[in-house]
Amino acid sequence: MRPVKLVVGLVIGVILLALVIVVILGPTSDDRCLPDGGITGGGGVPAGELSLPVAEGDYVVSSTYKSADRPDHRGIDLAAPDGTPMYAMAGGVVTAAGPASGFGNWIIIDHTIDGKPYSTVYGHMWDDGVAVQVGDTVTAGQHIGKVGNNGQSTGAHLHFEVWEGGRLAGGGETDPQPWLDRAVNPGSGGSEPDDQDSSRTPAPSSPKRPAPPSGGELPDSDKIQSKENLQVDSIRVARAVAQRFPSVQTIGGWRPVDAYPDHPSGRAVDIMIPDYESGEGRELGNRIKNYLLTHREFFHLEYMIWRQMYIPAEGQPNQMPDRGTPTENHFDHVHVTVVGGGKPTDDQRYGSAPTDGADDSSETSGAAGGEDCAPDFGHRSLNTGEIPEELRRWIDLGGQVCREVDSPLLAGLLYHESVGFQATAVSPAGAQGYGQFMPGTWASKGAKVDDNGQVAGPPGSGSPSDPADATMAAARYLCEIAEGQREGIASGQLSGDPQALMLAGYNAGPGAVQQYGGVPPYAETQKYVVIVPQEAERFGRA
């Protein structure tokens, strides 16, 4: 379709290596905030403290943040012997864990610290040096991996970064040294397990109930509706949420008839989120979700549903089909189903709302934690009327990969590229499929994906004519281009609208955008950056 794409397809790998662009390997939807396997605290630090990522005395600083000889160095290098334990600086949720360009392997943990979103980044681990998974909830001072010498590394060390606003949410890096100066030694708040495997607590094999924490009995609340027929575990959840999150005004309880037995059996509550469409509403729902997941054993949690995601207490979350309304899709409330526990006795006691300091996420806590792992990027809703059924779910998922790409923009790009969503479209230059990938570009950017849109095959696997593979590849590539342009936009090296620059990179190649310091003066590209947003408007729901 475009001769320039053929050239881009041949040289794109070299260009991206030169730019050291980090490949985002999966979508950043709500499921990134969900634990899988129940990570628990390891070494630990006193409540409210930050932890050194490598124990004091085990490392030396081998390269500082943006030093004179490395002005583009976004982090600080802590040289340590290969295999030295690494620890989470603060409580949070793992949003990336695995291969990443230049890093070998990396781990990203999202936090809320002093009321603001941050990410910490840990790089250069070997494959067996990553001890956490995406979605794991971790605590400050917890063992998360081992120092390695993988990727663009000339010696065993931990490359450590701190990002204000979130690493995958468009934030900016900051000097990690003040954070290290503020941190305490891991293990100062507890004992570290002997190895990484012991930091993963197995799922309980029976509904054994832990003793409730001390600190006072959970009070009843008039916010809980229809509580007469609720079982013990449901009442415990409702009372704890009412106490810990004062802005919640209504918690739905028992109802006699429902499509599923959870509410009629008294095992479920619906936590209604005030102003759920706002950023504050989404943050509140995420905090409640994270709080209940962190303490799922105490609450005897079975699963939750929040913002169209089915979230089991153990295992991977799944996106649910679109049911049509905000209530049916659980955008205006967090649904919580518990084991049950039977009807309360006359002298029933519920314990106190759990809190563990470092990862406490209530509205009243100022400690590290309370992670909002689904930042509000102001994305438009998707109008699916003109989109083929086989593409709708994937366009929706693709619109969650990064802040620069929402679902309508992705739909507009695919519609324009494939001349009306034609799976078998082939351009005169040889570009193929929905996203019009040149064979060379697909070989490096394409990949087969699983049912959740995660990469499930090697580079070049899958098909540019497959709805899932093609859509997610286009989303990842757009986000990769945007990621590589952020620094140039911030420094003034690149000028122009960021969205137009990203689209120009997709059309003409990111190298051409770098060469011209903006949208290249190619007639086709100049038209492309105008037409695709116009096409996107038809797929955006007001």
| Amino acid sitting at position 535 | E
Query: What is the b/e burial string over 368-386, where b = at least 16 CB atoms within 10 angstroms of the residue's CB?
Result: bbbbbbbbbbeebebbbee
The whole-angstrom separation of Cα 457 and Cα 453 is 11
Q: Average of pLDDT values for 352-374?
A: 45
pLDDT band at 216 (very low <50, low <70, confident <90, very high): low
| Strand 301-306 versus strand 309-312 pairing type | antiparallel
pLDDT of residue 325: 92
Q: Which of 83-87, 205-209, 315-319, 367-371 has the highest mean pLDDT?
A: 83-87
Query: What is the b/e burial string over 295-306, where b = at least 16 CB atoms within 10 angstroms of the residue's CB?
Result: bbbbbbbbbbbb
Q: Examine the pLDDT at 192 and tell me if it is beyond 60.
A: no
Q: Which of 25-34, 95-104, 309-318 has the highest mean pLDDT?
A: 95-104
pLDDT of residue 458: 92
Q: Examine the pLDDT at 258 and tell me if it is beyond 60.
A: yes
Backbone angles phi, psi at 382, to 5 degrees: -100, 130
Q: Which of 192-196, 254-258, 345-349, 419-423 has the highest mean pLDDT?
A: 419-423
Query: What is the b/e burial string over 145-184, where b = at least 16 CB atoms within 10 angstroms of the residue's CB?
Result: bbbbebbebeebbbbbbbbeebbbbbbebbebeebbeebb
pLDDT band at 355 (very low <50, low <70, confident <90, very high): low
Check if the beta carbon of residue 96 is closer than 8 Å to that of residue 108.
yes
Reduced to 3 states (helix: H, G, I; strand: E, B; else coil), residue 202 is coil
pLDDT of residue 315: 67
**What domains are there in the chain, each with its CATH number?**
3-21+378-541 (1.10.530.10), 30-199 (2.70.70.10), 232-338 (no CATH)
The whole-angstrom separation of Cα 123 and Cα 290 is 25
Give bridge partners of residue 34 from the DSSP assignment. none
Query: Tokens 């100066």 identify what position?
Result: 181
Reduced to 3 states (helix: H, G, I; strand: E, B; else coil), residue 185 is coil
pLDDT band at 15 (very low <50, low <70, confident <90, very high): very low
Q: Average of pLDDT values for 129-146?
A: 90
Query: What is the b/e burial string over 272-294, where b = at least 16 CB atoms within 10 angstroms of the residue's CB?
Result: bbeebeeeebbbbbbbbbbbbbb
469 compared with 542, residue with greater pLDDT = 469
Reduced to 3 states (helix: H, G, I; strand: E, B; else coil), residue 442 is helix
Reduced to 3 states (helix: H, G, I; strand: E, B; else coil), residue 137 is strand
Q: What is the mean pLDDT of the chain?
A: 79
Listed range (86-90, 120-124, 396-400) with the worst mean pLDDT: 396-400
385 compared with 54, residue with greater pLDDT = 54
Q: Examine the pLDDT at 205 and tell me if it is beyond 50.
A: no
State pLDDT tens for residues 419-431.
999 999 998 889 9
Question: pTM, whole model, 2 decimals?
Answer: 0.37
Listed range (180-189, 443-452, 509-518) with the worst mean pLDDT: 180-189
155 compared with 426, residue with greater pLDDT = 426
Q: Average of pLDDT values for 17-37?
A: 33
pLDDT of residue 530: 92
pLDDT of residue 53: 95
Ramachandran class of 104: left when φ > 0, alpha when ψ lies in -120 to 50, beta otherwise: left
pLDDT band at 187 (very low <50, low <70, confident <90, very high): confident
pLDDT of residue 228: 85
Check if the beta carbon of residue 230 is closer than 8 Å to that of residue 256.
no
State pLDDT tens for residues 462-512.
999 999 999 999 999 998 998 888 888 877 788 888 888 999 999 999 999
Q: Which of 280-284, 363-367, 418-422 has the highest mean pLDDT?
A: 418-422
pLDDT of residue 462: 95
The whole-angstrom separation of Cα 270 and Cα 288 is 12
Q: Examine the pLDDT at 176 and tell me if it is beyond 60.
A: yes
Q: Examine the pLDDT at 368 and tell me if it is beyond 80.
A: no
The whole-angstrom separation of Cα 477 and Cα 127 is 24
Listed range (319-323, 438-442, 448-452) with the worst mean pLDDT: 319-323
